[in-house]
Chains A and B, each alone.
Chain A
């Protein structure tokens, strides 16, 4: 666990240290069913790149289930599935390297966002992302002439999310459109957003409830309580990225 007090003493990144929205992923519960991957693709209009490009490392999923094994064949042991998505770093390496300010930190939501129409496609952010969770639009996958499958698939586009064109970078937004919707509703009713009022597509689809999303700055929220309950891991936090996703594995 990151010691917030030590990070808080570092001045410039202090306000980012706590974070707003966060996530807990329990790898003991994850069955590797990929429902989160499918739900994320539906919710965020993620392109289907086809077998060939996918096999060549061009799949564009914002969340992926990483599978690892231990030992040498034939004594191979599977380890726990590891869902990996943007960790919404408080101090993100992808942000300072973009020459066009397309990779920005949202001040109000404290998440890391990609401004699609500002992106010129240098792909520096993706090189500098230690989690390798940014996806690049290698082709116009939303174009029927390039991707025949999209002819029918486009009927289920989410109207709240942009369809991206070729040559730009995209990434997990913690379902920013859902955050905005819930906040707008709460504001019109003159109240704060309640914990569990809404969740991200991946957390909603998870049949084992391995993914929990919420306000980590609210000590009463489920995600904050879970974070306190167990000893979790934040990936590559030794790089000073201040990730907002906590992983539990090998638990009680």
Chain B
């Protein structure tokens, strides 16, 4: 018996185990891999269309009908009041901008640091950036009293010589978010070009026409690749400061105001870390769903990826906790009586459960799950953790905005905030995000095939004596 079966040496066993664990060491023929990605786009079940239809109804009702009603009737149908002039609208804006940070973090920062495990899911993360920013845009425009005049916030030339007020953090916000949306969309598009060309060569009908237009005539010549690499390199470096600036500027909406609990100088980095915290949680949720529902995705997205993101999440959670308590202790030690009243209200007020929930979801849950290598390699467990972190980060923004607005320097106006039409609108943005993502997963290759193939080419096994080791060569 043992003569017919190949006997695996220790080195071969080791190699087989490494292949199973790491995508970069487990290459498939190029044509086969391209076909797999095309199949994952084409294979659409009735379940997909059912979810798609339900989400469309939710978007139509929650986002467009409710918003239209609010435009016609005024903000009275929402829950905002004096003193909580900003409610869930701004909570959702900050939340979605936070979600959008993970895409850039993964695809730009991990790219410039040449973290190889990023390759199969950079696009899945980048899509979150663009679609998250769309929802943030919806949320911020919704909260305006006269949204039909929102173009007045843009610095366009006009006869009266009126410009936006560049003293206002809201003007900086608009510019920062617009810059980020444009830059991240271009940065999403650049690495997509070779994959669109791949899809163009493997499709028919209107799909082919679409890909033909989008691929900009990419043929894969040496010159085209060189240009693409250059452009991606420039964008990857340039978008990192943009990403950090966006959430810093969003935090200035609060930090630049004269309110107890808001005027805190640490809000800039604190918000950026918070954004990454919720964003990484969302990436891991998306990856778990994509892996579980789309064809062939179990090949591309493996436990090693969850393990790597899990480690990042743990570090980011610890950083968030540092900034949170730093902010808290400095504000408490400052001794301002209104701030002390507010801090007491956070923990012991009627929304105290939310404050403790925030600490549980942002600190205790990730720390309990992510320290263990086996646990953080389990997709469903990471999905639950990511969901918890997102709930916790939403709580955090809720505490900073409507709960902190409840307490101000005029005790006569203290009043609780009860959300109204904000709830369908918030559900609508969430449904619209998922809807856009589902549509994109059927229209563009969700896995950057060429990046995976490039990585696999760079990785190889070498045998030194009886030991097999992995080597990585620099391709670029």
Contact = CB atoms under 8 A, between A and B. Distances in A.
Given A57-B81, A58-B81, A138 B75 contact: yes
A203 interface: no
Contacts of A236: 409
Contacts of A119: 145-146
A208 interface: no
B152 interface: yes
Given A120-B145, A130-B258, A166-B145, A53 B408 contact: no
A118 B153 CA distance: 11
A75 to B, nearest CB: 20
Contacts of B217: none
Given A98-B165, A132-B410, A123 B76 contact: no
Given A53-B76, A97-B167, A128-B257, A121 B153 contact: no
Contact of A97 (B75, B150, B174, B256): B256
B357 interface: no
B412 A120 contact: no
Interface residues of B, number: 43
Interface string B173-195: 01000000000000000000000
A138 B413 CA distance: 17
A137 B413 contact: no
Interface in A112-155: 118-124, 126-128, 130-132, 135-140, 146
B245 interface: no
Interface string A229-252: 000000010010000000000000
Given A130-B410, A132-B408, A167-B74, A120 B168 contact: no
A137 B145 CA distance: 8
Contacts of A146: 73
Given A97-B256, A166-B145, A168-B145, A136 B153 contact: no
A40 B418 CA distance: 29
A117 to B, nearest CB: 9
Contacts of B259: 127-128, 130
A101 B163 CA distance: 8
Contacts of A82: 412
Contacts of B146: 119-121, 166-168
Interface string B54-85: 00000000000000000001111000111101
B168 A121 contact: no
A99 B145 contact: no
B8 interface: no
Contacts of B165: 96, 98-101
B149 interface: yes
Contacts of A53: 76
Nearest to A128: B257
B349 interface: no
A56 B413 CA distance: 11
Contacts of B253: 124
A101 B144 CA distance: 15
Interface in B234-261: 253, 256-259
B86 interface: yes
B75 A120 contact: no
B153 A120 contact: yes
Contacts of B171: 99
B350 interface: no
Contact of A100 (B152, B257, B409): B152
B290 interface: no
A97 B169 CA distance: 7
Given A127-B257, A130-B258, A138 B83 contact: no
B75 A121 contact: yes
B415 A57 contact: yes
Interface of B: 73-76, 80-83, 85-86, 143-147, 149-150, 152-153, 162-165, 167-171, 174, 253, 256-259, 405, 408-413, 415, 418
14 contacts: A57-B83, A57-B413, A59-B82, A66-B410, A100-B152, A118-B152, A123-B80, A123-B85, A123-B145, A124-B253, A128-B258, A130-B409, A138-B76, A166-B146
* Across the A-B interface, the 5 shortest Cβ-Cβ residue pairs: A121-B145, A167-B145, A166-B74, A139-B76, A57-B81
Given A58-B76, A136-B75, 9 more contacts: A56-B81, A99-B153, A99-B165, A100-B153, A119-B146, A120-B145, A121-B75, A122-B145, A166-B73
